[in-house]
Amino acid sequence: MDLAAAKVIGAGLAAIGVGVAAQGVGNVFGSFLQGALRNPAAADGQQGRLFIGFAAAELLGLIAFAVAMIILYAV
């Protein structure tokens, strides 16, 4: 396999990580909604934690994207 083909395949494989991070972000907001609908009075106080969880889950997807970009353009 030559380098160009391997690069494109590698970038595609790295994109899987972005999809998995999407699941993670969905899980964060879904779980928050589940909890918030059961106890709406406590929901507003947890928004900071919601966004911390969102940021942590999103960061991993963005790192996967950065890896794909590095493979495509910098290797």
Q: How far is the CB of 39 from other proteins (least distance, A)?
A: 20
Can you say how many angstroms the Cα of residue 56 is from the centroid of all Cα atoms in its chain? 8
Contacts of 26 (CB under 8 A, 6+ apart): none
Quick check: 40 binds other proteins (CB under 8 A)? no
CB 67 within 8 A of CB 13: no
Contact 61, 17 (CB under 8 A): yes
Binding segment for other proteins (CB under 8 A), chosen from 7-15, 28-36, 61-69, is: 61-69
Q: Which of the ranges 3-11, 27-35, 36-44, 45-53 carries the binding residues for other proteins, by CB under 8 A?
A: 45-53
Under the rule (CB under 8 A), what is the footprint of other proteins? Answer: 48, 51-52, 54-55, 58-59, 62-63, 65-66, 69, 73
